[in-house]
Amino acid sequence: MTRNFQVPSGCRLIAHETVGSTSEEAKRLAETGATDGTVVWALEQTAGRGRHGRQWSSPKGNLYLSAVFRPKCRIAEAPQLGFVVGVAMASAIRALSDIPAELKWPNDLLVSGKKVSGILLDSSDDGAGGVAWVIAGVGVNVEVHPEDIDGADSLRAFGATFSVEELLEAFLSRLFDLIGVWSRDGFEPIRICWQELALATGTLVSVKLPGQLIGGTFEGIDPSGNLLLRHNDEVLHVAAGDVFPVSAATNTSTGAL
Ligand code: BTN
């Protein structure tokens, strides 16, 4: 079903025409001993999962994959992998096209403010504070996007001419290089690359926290991967929330939801 393409050393690629969810399949494999670097790829999913229990629309034409990693880090550091994956995908898209893909904290990829890709992390600890496995699931709207979701779009709509396979190949090569950098040199080089590919600092955003909406400016991420949000005269370190870029006209201050 696939043309021959270069898979990086350390990567074992398992290709499917259709699966329920590549992340569920990768989790099943991880729990039965799949090695670090196993990647499950499917042309379509029938039960794609997004963050916060949402569905991920997964018709043919887009990229759906989930990678199994077994990093030697503390479980609290596992979310750093989401930034590694984001950098690999944004730079793959930029290398294959003129599309200025931008990362949005924590795990989204936008083009002109429209979401074209999302990353879903699942992890399991080893019972001693370390990681048994992390599954990094990535969906990219290459050809199509759900029409009923406001704010979503596809790379094709922005002029992409590359195929799903070309994107997969470019992504995997960057991903495995960056995993090497992260394992060897830690999070700092990844943090710097992520910020270079992210929304500009100073961008006006709203951040949805449990029960609260805070307006401010995006100021990057801290050495733990927390969002840096300037709100009034303070810089807040936000560990979890949803970020929405806003125009100056609609910028909010703070309010209850
Ligand atoms: C998000 O909500 O933004 C994250 C979406 C992640 C979707 C991908 S598609 C491949 C992998 N398999 C899944 O079921 N989900 C992830």
Please give the average pLDDT of every successive group of 10 residues along the chain, which has 257 residues. 79 98 98 98 98 94 98 96 98 98 96 96 97 98 89 96 98 98 98 97 94 95 97 95 74 46
List the strands of the sheet with 114-125, edge to edge: 12-19, 38-45, 63-69, 131-140, 114-125, 108-111, 102-104
Identity of the amino acid at 213: L
As a residue count, the chain comes to: 257
What pTM was computed for the model? 0.94
pLDDT of the residue at 227: 97
Q: In whole angstroms, give the CA distance from residue 128 to residue 114.
A: 40
| Among 62, 64, 81, 164, residue to substitute to test ligand 1 (most atoms within 8 Å of Cβ) | 64
Strands 38-45 and 12-19: parallel
DSSP state of 34: P
* Residue 218, burial from CB neighbour count under 10 angstroms (0-12, 13-18, 19+): buried
Cα(first)–Cα(last) distance of the chain, in Å? 48
CB 24 within 8 A of CB 47: yes
Alpha helices in 147-231 (DSSP H): 164-185, 188-196
Residue 26 main-chain phi, psi, to 5 deg:
-65, -40
Question: Do 251 and 231 meet the contact criterion of CB atoms below 8 Å apart?
Answer: no
What residue's CA is closest to ligand 1, atom 7?
A: 139
Identify which of 25, 41, 49 to mutate to test ligand 1's pocket (most ligand atoms within 8 A of the CB).
49
Q: What is the pLDDT of residue 252?
A: 46
CA angle 160, 98, 152 (to 5 degrees): 55
